[in-house]
Structure 1
Amino acid sequence: MVGVLIIVCILIIVFFIVFQKRKNKLLLDKIKQRQAFEEEISKTQIEIQEQTLKNIGQDLHDNVGQLLSVANMQLSMLAHQVGSDLQDSFTESKNLVKESLQELRSLSKSLNSDVIVYRGLQESLSTEIDRFNKLGLINAEITVTGNENYFLKGKDSIILFRILQEFFSNTIKYSEASILEVHINYTPDFVELTAVDDGIGFDELTIEKGSGLINMKNRAELIDAEFKMTSQLKEGVKLYIKYYYRSH
């Protein structure tokens, strides 16, 4: 009788252990499925955003760019018909149209993911920095250390660029900063991207709820990049990204 009870107890314990393992496996599978689903949703959202930006950039280039090109040609044709008293104002207006056309073309390229892949991350960031300086929006600088020739996957370079672009946009719109510094550090295994401004900063507890920060974090997670953004009020903002190169 005792032997039967011992066997029954052992069977119950074995059944309980098997049941728990089965339960844990089901829970783990469910968590993995949810993570995969959320990752797929994030990828889809980013793909939609990229296509939207690409369409906007193309429309700007084809439509608004065409109108500015025509306006520039017409102004060139009228140049000889303008009196000497209006020549300075006319020349200034013509230069403004020309500069607007150049800025529009530069902006449309920064919205087009194909151009970013073709140019590469470093050149795309340098172009953005140059654009800010030309427009007098902020005193911006980019520095580079290491070898750029390490492999960087095309789509991943787009995501990294968009994260930095979001940071630039927030700096120019809200930070009241006068200086923006960007540094790229290449190593054989990873690339480090650092962006710092000297603006008014923010409360980290409050900014956690902001859609801009969430968007940047989500993008970084998609490519398994380390992401950190720190700030204190009146002490500027610092963004740090560490991205490990993926294999071909």
Structure 2
Amino acid sequence: MVQATERPVSTEAERELLVYMIFALFLITAMVIAIAVVFQRRKNKLIEEKIKQKETFSKEMQTIQAEVQEETLRFIGRELHDNVGQILAYANMQIQMLAKNTQDQFREKVSNTSETIKKGIEEVRSLSKSLNSDVILEKGLIATVANETERLRRFKFEEVVFTYNAEKDGLIQKSHQLVLFRIIQEFLSNSLKYSEAQKVEVHFDFCPNDLKIVLKDDGRGFDMETVEPGSGLINMKKRAELINTRFTIESAMGAGVKVEMVYPFQSILIKDFE
């Protein structure tokens, strides 16, 4: 009785076909993964571009707003110096002429009035310098802050402290000096109007790579968890962001306010040369 021979499980051709199918499946899978990766990268790139566009637009709007504010302040500063200053000077001249023809009993009062007008003229001139960006850019940051603190010392505060460890404001871009001064001016203005402070401090610490600025007052302070930031604080933060400056603020009820800024002049200088 003849037994039938068993058929082989697979032929050589079938094995090759199986290998090709596995290879094709692997290739298709790899292509799908590659397409998915490329698509995801493309999607991420588009998202990043949109974020950058929004950030660029936001910075451009902030820059435009700052430029408009500076132009307004420059105009006010010039008007104060050229018009209001001249009017006060003319009024003082008239008072002095009047004093010569005034009876002795009124001469002292007229003289006191003249002295008051002179102080007003000095204040107007000092204020016009702090508002006019052309003057600020010409004098430099340190000299301008010194002028502003001296003006406030005459105005209200019992003590105004301004210290700096070196005169290196030449390392700071002119336009950035203006921004830093406006932040300092905003802080001093808020201390004057709201804090009821008797003492304010401005400290410049020039380090090898950056400038650390500390602003302090001994006013009533505020609770940072419950008080919403006002326009002054928002303006200071936005201005600091425009020049890549780290900005932090600390305050508590009865403990005054402290602002710290770190301006990285070294990295900005390197970036400008690249």
Q: TM-score range by the shorter chain?
A: over 0.9
Q: Give the AA of the match of 2:102.
A: V
Q: Give the AA of the match of 1:96.
A: T
When structure 1 is superposed on structure 2, of 223-232 and 146-155 the one drifting more is 146-155
Shift >4 Å, 4+ stretches: none
Match of 2:92 in 1: 72
Which runs of structure 2 are paired with 1:234-245 in the superposition (5 Å)?
234-245=254-265
Question: Do the aligned partners of 2:160 and 2:201 also contact (CA within 8 Å) in 1?
Answer: yes
When structure 1 is superposed on structure 2, of 38-47 and 56-65 the one drifting more is 56-65
Question: Identity of aligned pairs, percent?
Answer: 42
Q: Give the AA of the match of 2:221.
A: G
Match of 1:193 in 2: 213
State the Cα deviation string for residues 58-105 of structure 1 (Å, max 9, x = none): 111122111101101111212211111011111111111111011001
Q: Secondary structure at the match of 1:188?
A: coil
Match of 2:246 in 1: 226
Match of 1:25 in 2: 45
Partners of 1:36 and 1:149 lie apart in 2 by: 27
State the Cα deviation string for residues 12-71 of structure 1 (Å, max 9, x = none): 111111110110111111111111111111100000000000111111112211110110
Q: Closer, same or farther in 2 for the Cα pair 1:109/1:36, shift >3 Å? A: same
Matched, 1:173 2:193: yes
Partners of 2:153 and 2:27 lie apart in 1 by: 81
Q: Give the AA of the match of 2:185.
A: Q
Match of 1:45 in 2: 65
When structure 1 is superposed on structure 2, of 44-53 and 63-72 the one drifting more is 63-72
Question: What TM-score, normalized to structure 1?
Answer: 0.95
- Give the C-alpha shift of residue 150 in structure 1: 4.7
Question: Do the aligned partners of 1:183 and 1:193 also contact (CA within 8 Å) in 2?
Answer: yes
Matched, 1:120 2:140: yes
Question: Do the aligned partners of 1:207 and 1:213 also contact (CA within 8 Å) in 2?
Answer: no
Matched, 1:139 2:156: no
When structure 1 is superposed on structure 2, of 66-75 and 188-197 the one drifting more is 188-197
Match of 2:168 in 1: 148
Q: Closer, same or farther in 2 for the Cα pair 1:3/1:19, shift >3 Å? A: same
Question: Do the aligned partners of 2:165 and 2:205 also contact (CA within 8 Å) in 1?
Answer: yes
Listed as ranges, the gaps of 5+ residues in structure 2 are: 1-20
Partners of 1:193 and 1:171 lie apart in 2 by: 16
When structure 1 is superposed on structure 2, of 188-197 and 44-53 the one drifting more is 188-197
Partners of 2:82 and 2:218 lie apart in 1 by: 37
Question: Do the aligned partners of 1:132 and 1:139 also contact (CA within 8 Å) in 2?
Answer: no
State the Cα deviation string for residues 142-164 of structure 1 (Å, max 9, x = none): 11213436512111000000000
Match of 2:115 in 1: 95
Q: Closer, same or farther in 2 for the Cα pair 1:207/1:50, shift >3 Å? A: farther
Listed as ranges, the gaps of 5+ residues in structure 1 are: none
Partners of 2:26 and 2:212 lie apart in 1 by: 62
Q: Give the AA of the match of 1:10.
A: A
Question: Do the aligned partners of 2:157 and 2:200 also contact (CA within 8 Å) in 1?
Answer: no
- Give the C-alpha shift of residue 135 in structure 1: 2.0
Q: Give the AA of the match of 1:112.
A: N
Partners of 1:130 and 1:140 lie apart in 2 by: 8
